[in-house]
Amino acid sequence: MDTLKAILPDMIKARVEDLFNAQLSDEEVLAHMADMKNKSARLQDLVAEEHRDEASDVLRELVELAHRVRRSYVDMAYRQGLRDGHDLKSVL
């Protein structure tokens, strides 16, 4: 138990630093984010031209991409949690 008390604060601090300093490396997430930027620019053009139906479709696609990015982040966090759990188990 003393080992856990000694190492746990360092692991938590390291994980918080990792999350704070995390860089996007997942190519799928980067592709979705680039697509989201393109679609938001297109949406602005459509609204200015008053193509409301088309703008609605683009907005729907934009929301779907946001959900995909969110799910990708959740997946990455889950995988990182599994790694952290395995590392903690090996220390104990």
Q: Amino acid identity, residue 46?
A: L
Residue 14 is predicted with a pLDDT of 74
8-state DSSP, 29 = H
More confident residue, 92 or 45: 45
In angstroms, the CA 21 to CA 2 distance is 29
Residue 6 is predicted with a pLDDT of 65
Residue 77 is predicted with a pLDDT of 83
Check whether 36 has a pLDDT greater than 80: yes
More confident residue, 61 or 18: 61
- Contact call for residues 69 and 33 (beta carbons, < 8 A): yes
8-state DSSP, 49 = T
Residue 26 has phi, psi (to 5 degrees) of: -75, 115
The ranges assigned to domains in the chain are 2-91
In angstroms, the CA 92 to CA 79 distance is 20
Residue 23 is predicted with a pLDDT of 59
